[in-house]
């Protein structure tokens, strides 16, 4: 009788290992996780003042709004000079999947977009304040790209 239970026990152990692997892979490599990582990396570069690298994360529609040089100059000027800060901290909310989304009222419709709430906290010469913004991420040719909302 003990011999019949051994294969069943081994089968149960293998099944549990497979389930753990599948659930772990789903949690670690879900599309929402990729979107969240891209937004996190974008803001890490912004935090470091490396606006050239953060600009590279923009979707082609965002890059049409401002050239790389203008973006670098404006970001540094407005956020660092006017706010009187060297850097900021930030937190990301939970990614929310949107079946379709447009960057502007007349913009191109995008599928499988993730909305990630971002809160940036500044401590500067004008006091402490938070800037909250929903950031959108979409996968383009295997790379996650960042967009902002211009509909309102």
Mean pLDDT over all residues of the chain? 87
Alpha-carbon dihedral sign for residues 80, 70, 151, 116 = negative
Rg of the chain's alpha carbons, rounded to an integer? 22
CA distance 105 to 33: 28
CA distance 73 to 7: 67
94: Cα separation from own chain's centroid: 10
pLDDT score of 29: 55
Domains of the chain: 2-147 (3.10.450.100)
* Strand 96-101 relative to strand 110-124, pairing: antiparallel
**Each residue of 50-80: pLDDT tens digit?**
999 999 999 999 999 999 999 999 988 887 7
From residue 8, give the alpha-carbon distance in Å to each of 12, 16, 22, 39, 46: 6, 12, 21, 46, 55
Residue entry with tokens 């004008």: 126
| This prediction's pTM | 0.78
Average of pLDDT values for 127-144? 95
Average of pLDDT values for 127-141? 95
Closest CA to 96 of 74, 73, 112, 80: 112
């Amino acid at each position: 009788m003990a011999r019949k239970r051994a294969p069943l026990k081994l089968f149960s152990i293998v099944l549990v290992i497979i389930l753990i692997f599948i659930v772990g892979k789903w949690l670690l490599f879900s599309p929402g996780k990729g979107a969240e990582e891209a937004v996190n990396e974008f803001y890490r570069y912004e935090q470091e003042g490396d606006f050239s690298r953060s600009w590279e994360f923009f979707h082609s529609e965002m890059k049409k709004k401002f050239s790389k040089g203008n973006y670098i100059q404006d970001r540094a000027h407005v956020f660092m000079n006017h706010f009187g800060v060297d850097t900021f901290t930030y937190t990301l909310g939970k990614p929310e999947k949107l079946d379709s989304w447009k960057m502007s009222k007349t913009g191109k419709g995008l599928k499988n977009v993730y909305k990630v709430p971002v809160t940036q906290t500044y401590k500067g010469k004008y006091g402490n304040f938070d800037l909250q913004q929903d950031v959108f991420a979409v996968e383009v040719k295997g790379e996650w790209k960042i967009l902002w909302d211009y509909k309102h």
